[in-house]
Amino acid sequence: MTFSTANQAISASEKTLAPCRDTPNCVSSQAQDTKHYIQALKVNGNPAEAWKTLKEILNKQSRLVITHETTNSLHAEATSLVFRFVDDLDFIYNPQTNLIDVRSASRTGHSDFGVNRKRIETLRLEMQKTHVID
């Protein structure tokens, strides 16, 4: 994956994450309210290395599969063990801000008992350990 100047053009659809519904089972770095907001991942250094690390960490997760990827965006699905609920995870790299915007949301139900927020914060810690994000 190359993040050269030629590849930095992102379509409008890739710059925007889907908004969270008015339920507590979603977090997004593009949310405008504190209930759903979570901090984006701040790339520290090489964006291609950060993107590679993100994919490696996601691929190590049980019951999680990357279903779609472009140069600057990624979609994954996480399936819960017992009830087989599916959560959607979306990541968009923005070269103008050097941030990876994140969204993790349950497809169904109302409450997720904080699972989506915990998932992103755990991912953040794992990426910070490799020093690819602040």
pLDDT in tens, 13-42: 458 999 999 999 999 999 999 999 999 999
pLDDT on residue 3: 35
Mean pLDDT of 108-127: 94
pLDDT on residue 14: 57
Answer yes or no: are the C-beta atoms of 104 and 40 closer than 8 Å: no
Q: Which residues pair with 71 in a beta bridge?
A: none
pLDDT on residue 6: 30
86-94 vs 99-106, strand pairing mode:
antiparallel
Which is nearest to 67 in space by CA: 78, 56, 57? 78
* pTM score above 0.95: no
Domains of the chain: 22-129 (3.30.310)
Q: What is the crossing angle of helices 47-60 and 115-129, to 10°?
A: 130
Higher pLDDT, 10 or 56: 56
pLDDT in tens, 40-75: 999 999 999 999 999 999 999 999 999 999 989 999
What separation in angstroms does the CA of 59 have from each of 2, 7, 8, 21, 66?
20, 24, 25, 27, 7
pLDDT in tens, 92-114: 999 999 999 999 999 998 888 89
- Report the amino acid identity of residue 46: N
Give buried/exposed letters for 106-122 (b at 16+ CB in 10 A, else e): beeeeebeebbbebbee
pLDDT on residue 15: 82
Kindly write down the DSSP assignment for every residue of 34-90, as one continuous string: TTTB-PPEEB-S-HHHHHHHHHHHHHHSTTEEEEEE-SSEEEEEEE-TTT--EEEEE
